Structure 1
């Protein structure tokens, strides 16, 4: 406990309290100032009447401050409820966000798997296309060779046809020639 001697309107009083000495001294100075102002405002008042009026003013101010404090407490309670509501909403939104993030992550993972499968399929298709292209090239080469061989064989066949025709003509002439000779011989004999 702290004891402080304060001077209020020329009279010394000992104030005792748990607060610091500066705080207790400040209370004494404030009371002295309030009484001095009250006495200056109305010079007909004595100290005890000024003390009662000052006390009434202080109690009035205390009541007004308590009422104001009550309003502030109500607002604070309203703010506390609003804060709690907002915190609940934040928790809901965070939960929704986590769910959406999980859903997006799952979708991304599924899309990545699908993309990987498509890339594997594409790679297989490209390999097949490459193999087919090689086969097509080989078939073209074979086809070109067969076409050349076919042309050569057609040319040979045509050539053989001409030879056969030529031989047939010669055979026909040869067959015709003895017939002419026979005719001539027959004509000679008939003469």
Structure 2
């Protein structure tokens, strides 16, 4: 796959970036790092390019760590609604099973009483009460279904937020890498300058 290659400026210096991402993306991370470096230099003009690059890397790393913590909080918050839904579903299933068992017992008893020509009024009253409870529980279950739909909607929103957070983390990682590359370059330039000055003094 052909890599994209762009020339960007960071704090007035030109750098060549290559990557699989789009050119717009490469320009955006360069602009981000450039903005960070300029903010630090604006706040304290005494900073050198090296110190401003290091402080920029620290600032970006701080943002990355904070974003990671936010992602962990979001992940934990996603598990709570799912557990609640599972518990409510288990409770409903237990109520429904109990109702089905009682209904079956009632029908068997009614059949037996009919065969014996017995009075089933009392049992029917119990059955009606049980049926009313079942209707009530069924209504509660429908509410749970609506709540479940709401929770799923919230879950989808959280997943979108996490996806966006992951993208931000990826951006921060790339920005940090560019800052580290810049720092290595600055250190090399500084070393070359010292060697040149040393040679001049030797002459």
TM-score scaled by length of structure 2: 0.44
RCO (CA 8 Å, sep 6+): is it higher in 1 or 2? 2
Larger radius of gyration: 1
